[in-house]
């Protein structure tokens, strides 16, 4: 890759204690067959294992391909990603964390070609396999079989339909992210939603990556108790609410009321009536506030999508 050639795409990677996985992730980037130049920007967050040493070896082998950000102290995943994104030079950014990997050598080319052909779309994503501790026999898929080829912000409000390792996004939309995103338990989902204020998403119904669930992963513990996961999502919806239009706010009102009521029933079923009453009251209050808000601003007639059963 010539240093004078424009960088069409940057692969943004954050990694911490991924010694067991990082080589597979890096090799899956290097196998990409593209007709454009790309760079790999890696934020290594002071791992306590051999992750950093492995990255340095890859940098020595491919000096023009890798940009290593070797943090002097642990920044945490949000600040680490901030630094990585500010360093990316490409027109597009593809995300890949150090414990996931890609399985198609044409992944990046297909996504860039689609975004080039559809300037009205802001990001492109695809399906991925979900693997539990590399247990291939127990793998499943992230996206439903009937997912549409074009998706809107309203679709993304219902659920995070795009696994991080599947997304290629226009860089200009994520160069200057609001500080409040760093206070949320997740970062990728609000980024997608904010980007989709400016266009739609393209979905490729093809498995081109693998999302690995393991004990060192960020969401491993949270996935064990649905109530804890739901409680982490409610602040996300409340934080993003004021940054969206009225139709999206109506959808969020609908979702949060549903989640609060589901939490009330969940705690009632476990015999914790204090928490059950608290969430029932919050759900009821939000219901009446929403009705008053609709009447005040005349926000009626919107076609609010149905809440999926798994929510």
| Cα 147 from Cα 133, distance rounded (Å) | 26
How far lies 276's CA from each of 208, 273, 280, 283, 284, in Å? 42, 5, 6, 11, 12
| Confidence check: pLDDT of 102 > 70 | yes
Q: Cα 182 to the chain's mean position, in Å?
A: 13
Question: Residue 14: which residues within 8 A CB-CB, separation 6 or more?
Answer: 42, 43, 45, 77, 80, 81, 84, 97, 98
Per-residue pLDDT, 289: 63
| Confidence check: pLDDT of 250 > 50 | yes
Q: Exposed, middle or buried by CB within 10 Å (0-12, 13-18, 19+), for 286?
A: middle
| Confidence check: pLDDT of 131 > 60 | yes
Q: Which residues of 125-134 are buried (b: 16+ CB within 10 A; e: fewer)?
A: bbbbbebeee
What are φ and ψ of residue 193, in 5° steps? -65, -45
**Straight-line distance from the first to the last Cα atom of the chain, in angstroms, rounded to the nearest whole number:** 46
- Record the pTM: 0.85
Give the range among 56-65, 166-175, 182-191, 209-218 with minimum mean pLDDT: 209-218
Tell me which of 287 and 276 has the higher pLDDT. Answer: 276
- 138 phi-psi bin (left φ>0, alpha ψ -120 to 50, beta other): alpha
Tell me which of 45 and 182 has the higher pLDDT. Answer: 45
Count the Cβ atoms, other than its own, within 10 Å of residue 9: 26
Q: In a 3-state reduction of DSSP, which class is residue 102?
A: strand
Per-residue pLDDT, 143: 92
Q: In a 3-state reduction of DSSP, which class is residue 76?
A: coil
**Among candidate residues 209, 212, 186, the one with its CA nearest the CA of residue 131:** 212
What are φ and ψ of residue 15, in 5° steps? -150, 145
Mean pLDDT value across residues 154-178:
93
| Confidence check: pLDDT of 274 > 70 | yes
| Cα 101 from Cα 25, distance rounded (Å) | 4
**Among candidate residues 210, 163, 205, the one with its CA nearest the CA of residue 188:** 163
Quote the tokens at residue 156: 């993304």
Q: How confident is the model at residue 20 (pLDDT cuts 50, 70, 90)?
A: very high
How far lies 259's CA from each of 81, 284, 311, in Å? 29, 12, 7
**Percentage, residues of the chain above pLDDT 90:** 60
222 in Cβ contact with 232 (< 8 Å): yes
110 in Cβ contact with 94 (< 8 Å): no
Tell me which of 223 and 70 has the higher pLDDT. Answer: 70
Per-residue pLDDT, 235: 87
How far lies 22's CA from each of 12, 37, 60, 133, in Å? 14, 22, 16, 14
Q: How confident is the model at residue 122 (pLDDT cuts 50, 70, 90)?
A: very high
| Confidence check: pLDDT of 296 > 60 | no
> What DSSP designation does 65 have?
T
Per-residue pLDDT, 70: 97
| Confidence check: pLDDT of 95 > 80 | yes
Mean pLDDT value across residues 112-140:
86
Q: In a 3-state reduction of DSSP, which class is residue 228?
A: helix
| Cα 177 from Cα 193, distance rounded (Å) | 12
| Confidence check: pLDDT of 93 > 80 | yes
Q: How confident is the model at residue 293 (pLDDT cuts 50, 70, 90)?
A: low
- What rounded mean pLDDT belongs to the chain? 87
Tell me which of 288 and 235 has the higher pLDDT. Answer: 235
Per-residue pLDDT, 221: 45
């Amino acid at each position: 890759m010539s240093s004078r050639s424009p960088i069409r795409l940057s692969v943004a990677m954050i990694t911490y204690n991924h010694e067991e996985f990082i080589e597979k992730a890096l090799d899956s980037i290097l196998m990409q067959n593209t007709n454009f130049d790309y760079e790999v920007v890696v934020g290594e967050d002071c791992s306590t294992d051999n992750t950093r040493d492995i990255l340095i070896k890859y940098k020595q082998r491919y000096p023009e391909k890798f940009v290593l950000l070797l943090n002097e102290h642990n920044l945490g995943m949000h600040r680490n990603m901030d630094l990585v994104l500010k360093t990316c030079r490409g027109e597009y950014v593809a995300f890949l964390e150090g414990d996931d990997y890609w399985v198609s050598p044409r992944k990046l080319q297909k996504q860039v070609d689609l975004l080039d052909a559809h300037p009205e779309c802001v990001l492109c994503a695809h399906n991925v396999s979900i693997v539990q501790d590399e247990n291939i026999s127990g793998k499943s898929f992230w996206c439903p079989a009937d997912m549409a080829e074009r998706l809107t912000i309203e679709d993304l409000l219902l659920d995070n339909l795009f696994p991080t390792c599947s997304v290629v996004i226009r860089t200009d939309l994520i160069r200057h992210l609001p500080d409040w995103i760093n206070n949320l338990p997740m970062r990728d989902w609000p980024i997608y939603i904010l980007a989709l204020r400016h266009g739609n998403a393209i979905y490729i119904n093809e498995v081109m990556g693998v999302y690995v669930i393991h004990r060192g992963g960020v969401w491993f513990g949270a996935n064990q108790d649905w109530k804890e996961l739901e409680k982490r999502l409610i602040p996300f919806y409340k934080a993003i609410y004021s940054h969206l239009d009225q139709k999206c706010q109506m959808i969020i009102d609908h979702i949060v009321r549903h989640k609060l009521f589901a939490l009330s029933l969940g705690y009632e079923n476990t015999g914790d009536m204090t928490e059950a009453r608290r969430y029932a009251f919050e759900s009821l209050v939000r219901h009446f506030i929403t009705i008053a808000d609709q009447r005040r601003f005349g926000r009626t007639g919107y076609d609010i999508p149905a809440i999926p059963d798994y929510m």
